[in-house]
Chain A
């Protein structure tokens, strides 16, 4: 084989692996989605589910599937997709698995605003709560960025400052909840770990719109983002406009996180988990954005299903993803430490 053949073979092999993984993941998401529509306290067959989706009235199924399960499953897919995509974008940009938006405090920013709105301002409109959550998430990202800025933004500094900001915001959330009246607690708790219990179409639609706009924006930066993994200087030398790429990517990812958090609360650790899992299955060298988004969707779908039906009580989805994520965080820190690295 000539060298060109070797180069071509390697490139084709990597592209195939990526396509295979994306196909398998897409099929898995569709399968999990279908199961979550059919299976529950009552089972409905595929024909009944399809008739409900087609808009026909089916006794029983119209309510259970059409009003309860469908918005919940759609919201699961969309929040998972958004968290996964935004998470891997941050992790790639800052070259660090710990740089996920739910670790560096952006999700906490959205939570604080929501809890404050519900408990202190007595806001009852879900839309108002969402808007406040989105604005605060953007403000939190800006704050972290400004605090971490010194001749450009370095990953580690941003992560450490983000973790600090996150801790402050979470203590604020805890404080507000401790002071809360009992009847508000139920609503406010959702903003601690994230839950799909309140899934309605009015929550789904803004998030769907945000994903439709922001996904192409982020994907347009996929190649530049891949080159940023070689270091800022190398990327710039290869013709990437580093500052502009960063700005576009940060705004896009923060907006995604904010919309998803506003819809379902900060579903714990999905943004953090999706990227590393994607890297494991896709291999090191291809864009992880779409695989991570699909893995995020799959994680939320499956975790919600487990949370609802695997135990005696129904747990919100964030409890399940939180447990998974905490384990992975410990593993990651232990491995980084063992290989002699710092953050």
Chain B
């Protein structure tokens, strides 16, 4: 795999009906790196990701893959370069793991063409990489949340794309499974050079796993860059409207955001908090 595919967002405006969600936004996805998009609820981060995956056509501007307008490229061709794991994919009742993962091969199949040895090999590789080979013949609906998420990632991997977009891949997982999934994605990035773009809710996990952090507020980018360079109390205040203290994570050396709440603000605040009655 190479890191030569370049995905770029150019002056994109996105809207649902009358409601504009993202306005003239520019973003360059660094090839071969992990980009994490953060932001408050309803700030437009998932919408932005959907547009980058050509699921939503921009009102203005364009999303560009290797110099070409994403929406004008044949969708199967795009599907061989760009994979997406949506926030809540649906597994058909009773489908087995290997069968679900095999669906990732669709962009490579032609009408009436037979299943090839390369397709089988790709499915096997995806299962091995995600540690789900033992589950191959199990029905997906019998798996735990963490296992299921790894299976969905395996399906996206069987698609063998150089760019992988994920919308909150850790939602509904407990902390250890969140870390497990993010470690797996990091392996992919480091070993295969897969460019990864994901939306994450957890600021601290975002800071830990991102090479490139993009903070979105009200449909615009507030800051973008290495987490150490951009993530500070001022940014958290701006994007999440929340006071915080940002220290260095003793485990990873990355920034660690400690929220300052009305209660339990301990030594961080000397003045008593004014409470509106």
The answer to whether B115 touches A236, judged by C-beta atoms less than 8 angstroms apart, is no
Indicate if B237 sits at the interface (CB-CB under 8 A): no
Are A239 and B124 in contact (CB-based, < 8 A)?
no
Residues of A within 8 A of B92 (CB): 229-230, 284-285
Which chain A residues (207-263) contact chain B, with CB distance < 8 Å? 220, 223, 226-227, 229-231, 233-234, 236-241
Residues of A within 8 A of B91 (CB): 230
Binary interface encoding of chain B residues 70-108 relative to chain A, with 1 for a CB under 8 A from any of its CBs, else 0 = 000001111110111110111111111011101110110
* Chain B, range 24-54, C-beta contacts under 8 Å to A: 50, 53-54
Given known pairs A3-B136, A223-B106, the reply for A234 and B124 (CB within 8 Å) is: no
With a cutoff of 8 Å between Cβ atoms, the chain A residues found around residue B139 in the complex are 284
A330, CB-defined interface residue at 8 Å: no
Could you tell me if A4 and B121 are in contact, using CB atoms closer than 8 angstroms?
A: yes
Binary flags per residue of A167-179, CB closer than 8 Å to B gives 1, else 0: 0000000000000
A234 touching B95, Cβ below 8 Å: no
Q: Give the distance in Å from the alpha carbon of A9 to the alpha carbon of B80 in the complex.
A: 26
Report how far A240 CA is from B89 CA in the complex, Å: 15
Chain B at the A interface: mostly helix, strand, loop or mixed?
A: mixed
> Nearest Cβ in chain A — how far from B28, in angstroms?
21
Is B159 an interface residue, CB under 8 A from the partner?
Answer: yes
- Is A3 in contact with B103, judged by CB distance below 8 angstroms? no
Q: Determine whether the beta carbon of A151 is less than 8 Å from that of B17.
A: yes
Which A residues are in CB contact (< 8 Å) with B99?
10-11, 14, 284-285
In the complex the two chains form, is A283's CB within 8 Å of B94's CB? yes
In the complex, which residues of chain A have a beta carbon less than 8 angstroms from the beta carbon of B17? 151
**In the docked arrangement, what's the CA distance between A2 and B125, Å?**
11
User: Size range of the interface on B?
Assistant: 35 or more
Contact between chains at B86 and A233 (CB < 8 Å)? yes
Of chain A, the residue at the smallest CB distance from B101 is: A7
Cβ of A181 < 8 Å from any Cβ of B? no
Q: Does B269 contact A (CB under 8 A)?
A: no
B98 & A233 in contact (Cβ 8 Å cutoff): no
Contacting B at CB under 8 A, from A1-18, are 2-4, 6-8, 10-11, 14
Q: Given that A227-B106, A233-B55, A284-B92 are known contacts, is A7 also in contact with B86, CB under 8 Å in the complex?
A: no
**Chain A 275-286: CB-based contact to B (< 8 A → 1; otherwise 0):** 000010001110
Contact A230–B103 (Cβ < 8 Å)? yes
Contact in complex: A7, B16 (CB < 8 Å): no
Considering the complex, give the chain B residue whose CB is closest to the CB of A228: B90
B123 within 8 A of A: yes
Kindly state whether residue A157 has any CB partner on chain B within 8 Å: no
Q: Which of A7, A10, A240 contacts B106 (CB 8 A)?
A: A240
How far is the CB of B116 from the nearest CB of chain A, in Å? 11
Q: Which residue of B lies closest to A14 (CB)?
A: B99
Query: Does B111 touch A at the CB level, under 8 Å?
Result: yes
Q: How far is the CA of A220 from the CA of B106 in the complex (A)?
A: 14
B98 touches A241 (CB 8 A): no
* Residues on the B chain within 8 Å of A285, using CB: 92, 94-96, 99
Q: How far is the CA of A342 from the CA of B205 in the complex (A)?
A: 34
Q: Is the CB of A238 within 8 A of B78?
A: no
Whether A231 contacts B76 in the complex (CB less than 8 A), given A10-B99, A11-B98, A236-B55, comes out as: no
Interface residue B128 (Cβ < 8 Å from any Cβ of A): yes
Most buried by A among B76, B83, B124, B159: B124
Given contacts A6-B136, A231-B86, A285-B99, contact A11 B159 (CB under 8 A): no
User: CA of A14 to CA of B92 in the docked complex: distance in angstroms?
Assistant: 15
- How far, in Å, is A290 (CB) from chain B's closest CB? 15
Among A39-70, those with CB < 8 Å from B are: none
The 8 Å CB contact of B95, one of A238, A241, A284, is: A284
B residues in contact with A284, CB < 8 Å: 92-96, 99, 139
Please indicate the chain A residues that have their CB under 8 angstroms from the CB of B16 in the complex. Answer: 151
Known: A237-B84, A238-B106. A231 touches B89 (CB 8 A): yes
Distance of A99 Cα from B104 Cα, bound (Å): 27
A231 to B54, CA, bound (A): 15
A231-B89, A233-B84, A240-B75 given as contacts; is B50 within 8 A of A6 (CB)?
Answer: no
Within 8 A of A (CB), among B197-250: none
Contact check, B103 vs A227: say whether CB atoms are below 8 A apart.
yes
Expressed in whole angstroms, the Cα–Cα distance for A237 and B104 within the complex equals 10
The reply to whether A7 and B115 form a contact with Cβ atoms under 8 Å apart is no
Closest to A95 in B: B90
* A223–B102 alpha-carbon span in the complex (Å): 12
Is the pair B128, A3 in contact by a Cβ cutoff of 8 Å? yes
Q: Give per-residue flags for B246-259: 1 if the beta carbon is below 8 A from chain A beta carbons, else 0.
A: 00000000000000
B183 an interface residue at 8 Å Cβ cutoff? Answer: no
Are B90 and A230 in contact (CB-based, < 8 A)? yes
Given contacts A230-B91, A239-B79, 6 further A-B contacts (CB under 8 A): A3-B127, A4-B124, A7-B127, A237-B86, A239-B78, A240-B75
Offer 18 A-B interface pairs, CB within 8 angstroms, sorted by A. A6-B124, A7-B136, A10-B137, A11-B99, A220-B111, A227-B106, A230-B103, A233-B89, A234-B84, A237-B82, A238-B104, A238-B107, A238-B159, A239-B78, A239-B80, A241-B75, A279-B93, A284-B99
Q: Chain B interface (Cβ within 8 Å of chain A)?
A: 16-17, 50, 53-55, 75-80, 82-86, 88-96, 98-100, 102-104, 106-107, 109, 111, 115, 120-121, 123-124, 127-128, 133, 136-137, 139, 159
Query: 5 shortest A-B CB distances, which residue pairs?
Result: A284-B94, A239-B79, A237-B84, A239-B76, A233-B86
